[in-house]
Amino acid sequence: MMKQYKEVKEKYRDAILFFRLGDFYEMFFDDAIIASKELEIALTQRDAGGDKKAPMCGVPYHVADVYIAKLVERGYKVAICEQLEDPSKAKGLVKRDVIRVVTPGTIIDTNVLDEKSNNYLVSIYMDDFGAGLSYVDSSTGEMYTTEYLRDKDNVYDFILDELGKILPSEIICNESFTQNKKIIKTIENKLRPYINVYKGDIIHKHDWIDIIVKHFNVENLEVLGLKDRIYSIISTGKLIDYLYSTQKDSLEHINRLQFYNPADYMILDINTRENLEIHHTIMGREKKGALIWVLDKTSTAMGGRLLKNWLEQPLLDIKEIEKRQEIVELFVNNPILMDEVKECLKKIYDLERLIGKISYGNCNARDLCSLKISIGIIPKLKDILLKSNDKLLVELGMKIDTLEDIYDLIDKSIVDDPPISVREGGLIKLGYDEELDVLKKASIDGKKWLADLEAEERKKTGIKSLKIGFNKKTGYFFEVTKANLDLVPDYFIRKQTLSNSERFYTEPLKEIEMKILGAEERIVDLEYNIFNDIRIKVKEQTNRIQRVSRIISEIDVLNAFGQVAYKYDYVRPKLNNKGIINIVEGRHPVVEQTIVDNVFVPNDTYIGSKDNRVQIITGPNMAGKSTYMRQVAIITLLAQVGSFVPAKEADISIVDRIFTRIGAADNLSQGESTFMVEMKEVSNIVKNATENSLVILDEVGRGTSTYDGLSIAWALVEYIAKKIKAKTLFATHYHELVELENTIEGVKNLTILVEEKGEEIIFLRKIVEGSTNKSYGIEVAKLAGIDQEIIDRANEVLFQIEQKQELINISKPREYNRQLNILDYKKDYFIEKINNLDVLRLTPIEALNILYELKEEAKKLRERA
């Protein structure tokens, strides 16, 4: 047996081998040492030939999935080596082989997976000319692919943005992709997938084409939209090849490949997703407090997953968005219909993952019953849609296949409350299979024969306590206590002696035993075979079930949008391509749900016209600048997803990308400071933003010195306003920037109203046109609970600075005062240098060079001081 183990292990050296021995999966040698530690189970030993002992540990087969999931979660592959024949019937060593390799991206156990999240496996192929990216959810059968054909620097951004959307559990990639160590570190830190690098040259494209064509059973790649898409062909071919190498079985439910172009959707880069807190909060990474927390009123697991996908890919086509809006509006205007649909949806199980389990062959009879229950709801749902009198809902209803033949098959064959195991009988209803019915009658009759024989022998022998018993080891027997042994007749044949009794059998009992046990064994085998036949018949209808599940998912998401809109008073936004975003009394959808004892203050937004493209927003910390800017971005995103929005009115111009630079988080693990990270994000915005983009910038420049930061912020606003012309919200404490409203077309000043009551301030949270030259930093510090002595000293210092008086009692006063004097002396030089600049003719590179010269001059002055 150990020789057999070693032969199998040699083929799967990179995995922990679960080796089936009877009712346990055993692990040996290094696998046992690792597993015992990770799973906190006992480590023992087993003879390994001669005087050698092999470390060993094991887990019961019926709970193995739990242990496998723990190991995979901790980054291990697990190879499952199963017994391929009944040990009781095997001649010699039981045949064993690996039936499946479980990796983070190939888990299909629904008890382990988050029901409302996909579990994606991603395949990446990259070279100097482009990249292909394909991904699949093995549990649902969804498969997608895309590619990028540009320079190598941008291809990493493309892949990172896509991975941020997909959130894969596992990535398989070629070595070329891993050459950029910083990108790999970013992926590992932000997304934390299992990364599997395959080595060596890629095989010829025709081999990948053959793999794809064979799997999808198509004549050519044109049918799949992959003609001449070489990078998608390679990444998809490798993905399918990897699936077959790990799953070792049917992949029939993975029967649909969708090629997509990210440019067909609103693009959200990885930073924007984080900053807008779409799926989880920045602090704590929790669902509560994120956008999905408010929106997810879906009733089915598959609807929950589709909602996440929609939020990752807002639409650009107004007609497609309006189709969604019309159904949402119908639900909002007809809450009774909305509730009727919801009640149906709540009773539908996860059809996508059920058919995935059925296709893989690891389902049980209860899964088939769950499928039957779900299918049983579909006719009622279809009827509700057809009677809605809405064109779009009726169209959806007409597309729904009620799957009545599948329902009838399961209903006639599988008992209503089957056992979990499919190998112990009790699965199939009477009347479904004639041979099975005969065997079951024999089993039932046999039990009557036993009762009759027991009564007959009790009467003949006079042993009142005589009983017929049974166990798997000895079969059926008469049990006689020692007190009654003198009454045992000669035809009782001794079978077993116990401390207080003896067991016997008779020829009639042996005959009955053979009939009963033969029938029961055949019943179990026959029921298992019948169950598999039913499973295969259902699997053959995978396409039909998947089509219905997609329609139901879509209805579920639109119904959820309707519930949110109805409950929280959202409005249907108008859509335009004129570049204007106009929101009346907009609200932040999450913040308004989390405010305690306060009413959220709505704000208007108007941006995008020729004289109002870049808005400079000033005001104190905590006043609501960041909330307002996020609010505008989220309302825009929701509008393009097809949802209603939290506002009194909204007219949203289609946006091709949303960019955000919010917050200041160091990237120390990659040796990058706050300012470096900020500048890289700004660089990304400048390179990729268009006139149709929405840009959110919060306190750009605060990661460096005041003069450097102000200069960069100033130059950035100019460049966006003049060159890019993107709709931009720019919150800042550099009050000097408000002067740009008077010098650059398209710049507009906004501020947040603050009410002063003596020494106290009240944040009114209202955005109005205008500006402020006060930051209220000391007041905010007081609200935060800073010691009063510090507050008093801060007010004193602030007064001195504002009055241009000498600073007294500050650390190193001489050096500081001298520095101020030199700067005062030289200020005319800086003013003249800046005034002589022709900002309209400066290129970004020239501006940065001049900024560098000014910085160097300032550095020299500081050294001389």
Residues 43 and 165 in one domain: no
Contact by Cβ (8 Å): 690, 656: yes
Distances from the Cα of 20 to the Cαs of 59, 60, 539, in angstroms? Answer: 10, 10, 27
Place of tokens 């080891």: 473
Place of tokens 């004193």: 796
Four-point Cα dihedral 187, 189, 192, 195, nearest 10: 50
Q: State how beta strands 267-268 and 657-661 pair.
A: parallel
Domain boundary residue among 218, 248, 264?
A: 264
Contact by Cβ (8 Å): 688, 657: yes
* 3-state SS, one letter per residue, for 784-845: CCCCHHHHHHHHHHHHHHHCCCCCCCCCCHHHHHHHHHHHHHHHHHHHHHHHCCCCCCCCHH
User: Tell me, what CATH number does 258's domain have?
Assistant: 3.30.420.110
Residue 512 lies in a domain: yes
SS3 of residue 304 by DSSP: helix
Residues 580 and 716 in one domain: yes
Amino acid at 857: E
Domain boundary residue among 240, 264, 288?
A: 264
Distances from the Cα of 107 to the Cαs of 8, 103, 308, 386, 451, in angstroms? Answer: 22, 6, 20, 38, 49
Residue 657 lies in a domain: yes
Q: Which helix (H) or strand (E) holds 674?
A: helix 674-688
Residues 482 and 532 in one domain: yes
Query: How many CB atoms are located within 10 Å of the residue 208 CB?
Result: 25
Residue 414 lies in a domain: no
Query: Tokens for 86?
Result: 């009944």
Helix H segments across 387-433?
391-399, 404-413
Residues 438 and 532 in one domain: yes
Q: State how beta strands 614-618 and 727-731 pair.
A: parallel
Running DSSP on this structure, what letter comes out for residue 721?
A: I
Closest CA to 182 of 216, 144, 149, 156: 156
User: Tell me, what CATH number does 67's domain have?
Assistant: 3.40.1170.10
Domain boundary residue among 102, 135, 169?
A: 102
pLDDT at residue 842, rounded to an integer: 61
Residues 651 and 703 in one domain: yes
Q: Which helix (H) or strand (E) holds 196?
A: strand 194-198
Residues 6 or more apart from 528 whose CB is under 8 A from it?
422, 423, 427
Residue 280 lies in a domain: no
Residue 412 lies in a domain: no
| Cα(228)–Cα(221) distance, integer angstroms | 9
Closest CA to 181 of 693, 524, 809, 670: 670
* Beta strands, E only, 335-439: none
pLDDT at residue 2, rounded to an integer: 87
Residues 519 and 548 in one domain: no
Residue 716 lies in a domain: yes
Can you give the C-alpha Rg of the chain in angstroms?
36
**Domains in the chain: how many in total?**
6
Closest CA to 464 of 476, 455, 473: 455
Residues 126 and 84 in one domain: no
Contact by Cβ (8 Å): 717, 740: yes
Residues 484 and 559 in one domain: no
| Cα(226)–Cα(477) distance, integer angstroms | 69
Rama region for 22: left / alpha / beta (φ>0; ψ in -120 to 50; rest): left
Residue 840 domain boundaries: 806-865
Residues 215 and 129 in one domain: yes
* Beta strands, E only, 654-736: 657-661, 694-698, 727-731
| Cα(635)–Cα(641) distance, integer angstroms | 10
Residues 191 and 228 in one domain: yes
Four-point Cα dihedral 852, 857, 863, 865, nearest 10: -140
Residues 6 or more apart from 327 whose CB is under 8 A from it?
390, 392, 393, 396, 558, 562
| Cα(79)–Cα(100) distance, integer angstroms | 6
Query: Tokens for 843?
Result: 């290129």
Closest CA to 659 of 639, 635, 638, 630: 630
pLDDT per 10-residue tile (average), the chain, 865 residues: 91 95 94 95 85 90 90 93 84 90 91 92 93 96 93 82 94 91 88 86 74 92 92 95 88 94 93 92 89 98 98 97 97 96 97 94 94 97 93 93 97 95 92 92 86 92 92 89 92 91 92 85 92 96 96 98 98 97 97 84 95 92 87 98 98 97 55 70 89 93 74 90 96 89 94 76 83 67 71 70 49 37 53 65 63 71 60
Residue 796 lies in a domain: no
| Cα(634)–Cα(794) distance, integer angstroms | 38
Residues 6 or more apart from 269 whose CB is under 8 A from it?
157, 160, 161, 164, 657, 659, 684
Distances from the Cα of 725 to the Cαs of 12, 74, 686, 847, 848, in angstroms? Answer: 57, 47, 11, 18, 20
Query: Tokens for 378?
Result: 């579909």
User: Tell me, what CATH number does 502's domain have?
Assistant: 1.10.1420.10
| Cα(331)–Cα(560) distance, integer angstroms | 9
pLDDT at residue 699, rounded to an integer: 84
Residues 130 and 97 in one domain: no
C-alpha torsion sign, points 193, 198, 201, 204: negative
What strand order describes the sheet that includes 747-757?
A: 267-268, 657-661, 694-698, 727-731, 614-618, 747-757, 760-769
* 3-state SS, one letter per residue, for 276-292: CCCCCCCCCCCCCCCHH
Residues 309 and 330 in one domain: yes
Closest CA to 751 of 635, 617, 593: 617
User: Tell me, what CATH number does 581's domain have?
Assistant: 3.40.50.300
What strand order describes the sheet that includes 581-586?
A: 574-576, 649-653, 581-586, 603-607
Place of tokens 């929609």: 310
Residues 6 or more apart from 681 whose CB is under 8 A from it?
271, 661
Our CA angle for 379, 383, 385, nearest 5°, is 120
Place of tokens 């394909």: 134
Running DSSP on this structure, what letter comes out for residue 150?
A: S
Contact by Cβ (8 Å): 770, 751: yes
pTM of the complete model: 0.84
* Percent composition of the chain: helix, strand, coil (DSSP 3-state, to 5): 50, 20, 30
Please provide the size of the chain in residues: 865
Distances from the Cα of 54 to the Cαs of 44, 68, 81, in angstroms? Answer: 8, 21, 18
Our CA angle for 24, 77, 367, nearest 5°, is 60
Phi, psi of 460 (to 5 degrees): -70, -40
Residue 411 lies in a domain: no
